[in-house]
Amino acid sequence: MVINIQKQFSSFQLDAQFEVPKGITALFGKSGSGKTSIINTIAGLERPDQGEIIVNGQTLFNSKEKIWVPAHQRQIGYIFQEGRLFPHLSVKENLLYASKVTSKPMKHQQFDYIIQLLGIDHLLDRQPARLSGGEKQRVAIGRALLSNPQLILADEPLSALDESRKAELLPYFERLRDELEIPILYVTHSAQEVLRLADYVVAIDDGRVTTPGPAREVLSDSRINKQAHRAMSSQFKASVVAHHQDGLTELAANGVTLFTPTVKAEVGSPLCLEIFGHDMLITRLRIAESSALNQLAGKITSVTTPAPNSIFLTLETAIGELTARLSARAFQKLGLVAGDNCHLCIQAIHQSNRNSCA
């Protein structure tokens, strides 16, 4: 797949050139960098000013040759941030709708395979209103696959889900990557999702491709690595318990007491908070005498190495899933592996300014 597109929007100039191999390619960048605009042009929802789009050898757009294939003829599956299922149709009817609007519908055996792959066979008779957020997204993925696409576009498909639903859905994207040969262009600003899912990364900043390449190589780039580290934060919910005279606010998060510099919120108010990966220190044992007021027990569920000198640990804790960043040397010194128990010293907690919270 070859993308070479230019388009002037009211707020920025889109100028992107890259290729997409098999597997999952992540369009990675901050919010507003142009990621969704790129996949909308590929889908045929936006028309570029100039350039070309070639998918599976078929030219979908070429400004010089005046080629423009309409969206409904492109044979592209689109997974939105929210499922966008038809509320008046059952799950099965939503899935079958995809085969009605494609010129090359999948066979019955393929329908059975996809509902088994996504674990939605027991949901077929339900209405969308009776589905959880994660279930709706699995049905939306199934509907995209049943359109028999030559390409799947996924626009931040996990962003509207809480952490437990994200954890539920991630293995299904891994199965799509590993078992199907359909290339997936996956939009995200989450470094965690890039690290877990992507084979290839196209880093986007202000409408331009800054660094394309294999995921490990791109995340080794110092510029992208800094962006990934900034993005590497974990969100959780808490409520205000008390404001103390020493300038600290006491918080409660799923039964855990935490302290942070005074926040402007009334006692009892709910808060959406986040902890950055570089603000966590990892120890094998709890430190009894320490200046760290916030300590948590955790269990390591996964270890990822995005670059030679960086280690990301995913940890299961009482306040939810957290992701910590360590240097390779510190990680080797501790001798940690997935499945080990450990303790976290949290150096800073921030109020989140994102649209959703775990």
**H/E segment holding residue 167:** helix 163-179
Q: Looking at this protein, which amino acid is placed at residue 188?
A: T
**Structure tokens that stand for 62 in this block:** 């070429």
- In the chain, what percentage of residues exceed pLDDT 90? 40
Report, as an integer, the average pLDDT of 313-322: 91
Q: Does residue 68 sit within a domain?
A: yes
- Give the burial class of 254: count Cβ atoms within 10 A of its Cβ; 0-12 exposed, 13-18 middle, 19 or more buried: exposed
Which of residues 184, 211, 229 is at a domain's end?
229
What is residue 308's predicted lDDT score, i.e. its pLDDT?
A: 61
pLDDT of residue 358: 45
Q: Which of 110-119, 257-266, 307-316 has the lowest mean pLDDT?
A: 307-316
Among 32-46, 105-119, 244-258, the range scoring the smallest mean pLDDT is 105-119
- Given a cut of 90, whether residue 319 has pLDDT beyond it is yes
Q: How far apart are CA 280 and CA 196, in angstroms?
A: 20
Q: Which residue has the tokens 């040969």?
A: 181
34 pLDDT more than 80: yes
Would 246 be classed as within a structural domain? no
- Does some domain include residue 257? no
DSSP percent split of the chain into helix, strand, coil, nearest 5: 30, 35, 35
Whether residue 195 has pLDDT greater than 90: no
CA-to-CA distance for 303 and 202, rounded, in angstroms? 23
Q: Does residue 31 sit in the same domain as residue 110?
A: yes
Residue 250 lies in a domain: no
Range(s) of the domain holding residue 297:
265-351
pLDDT-wise least confident of 194-198, 291-295, 297-301, 328-332:
194-198
266-283 confidence digits (pLDDT tens): 999 999 898 888 789 999
Distance CA 112, CA 196 (A): 27
Residue 313: give its domain's CATH number. Answer: 2.40.50.100
Q: What is the DSSP letter of 123?
A: G
Non-local CB neighbours of 83 within 8 Å, separated by 6+ positions: 128, 131, 133, 136, 137, 139, 140
Is residue 52 included in any domain, yes or no?
Answer: yes
Distance of CA 87 to the CA centre of its chain: 25
How far, in Å, CA of 48 to CA of 29, rounded? 20
- The predicted structure's pLDDT at residue 355: 46
pLDDT for 211 beyond 50: yes
Higher pLDDT, 292 or 13: 13
Task: Please state, rounded to an integer, the average pLDDT across all residues of the chain.
Answer: 86
As a whole-number percent, the residues of the chain with pLDDT over 70 amount to: 90
Q: What is the pLDDT of residue 307?
A: 59
252 lies in some domain = no
CATH of the domain at 133: 3.40.50.300
In this predicted structure, the answer to whether residue 311 has a pLDDT above a threshold of 90 is no
Same domain, 223 and 269: no
Q: Are residues 193 and 96 in the same domain?
A: yes
Residues 257, 246 contacting (CB under 8 angstroms) = no
Average pLDDT over residues 203-218: 84
Q: Is the dihedral of CA 118, 119, 121, 127 positive or negative?
A: negative
Q: 325 versus 60: which is more confidently predicted?
A: 60
Q: Given pLDDT bands bounded at 50, 70 and 90, which one contains residue 63?
A: very high
> Alpha helices, DSSP H only, in 181-304?
191-197, 215-220, 222-231
The last residue of a domain, from among 229, 247, 273: 229
Query: Could you tell me how many residues make up the chain?
Result: 358
**Residue with more model confidence, 254 or 101:** 254
Say yes or no: 151 and 8 in one domain: yes
Q: Is 8 helix (H, G, I), strand (E, B) or coil?
A: strand
pLDDT above 80 for 343: yes
Contact 55, 74 (CB under 8 A): yes
Answer with the one of 210, 229, 248 that is the final residue of a domain: 229
Q: Could you tell me if 306 and 175 lie in one domain?
A: no
**Same domain membership, residue 19 and residue 96:** yes
Residue 245 lies inside a defined structural domain of this protein: no
Comparison of pLDDT for 158 and 51, the residue scoring more: 51
Overall domain count for the chain: 2
d(C-alpha 166, C-alpha 231), whole Å:
16
Q: Which of 139-143, 174-178, 258-262 has the lowest mean pLDDT?
A: 174-178
Same structural domain, 56 and 145:
yes
The answer to whether residue 47 scores a pLDDT higher than 80 is yes
Same domain assignment for residues 141 and 218: yes
Residue 260 domain flag = no
Residue 222 pLDDT > 60: no
Q: What is the pLDDT of residues 65-102, one digit of tens each?
A: 999 999 988 989 999 887 789 999 999 999 888 777 66
Average pLDDT rounded to a whole number, residues 156-166: 78
Look at residue 306 and tell me whether its pLDDT is greater than 70. no
* 284 and 148 together in one domain: no
274 and 179 belong to one structural domain: no
Identify any residues that bridge with 235 across adjacent strands, giving them in sequence order: 274
Q: Is residue 205 predicted with pLDDT exceeding 60?
A: yes
CA torsion sign, 141 to 147 to 148 to 150? negative
Element (H, E) at 170: helix 163-179
Task: Tell whether 208 and 324 lie within a shared domain.
Answer: no
Q: Are residues 304 and 215 in the same domain?
A: no
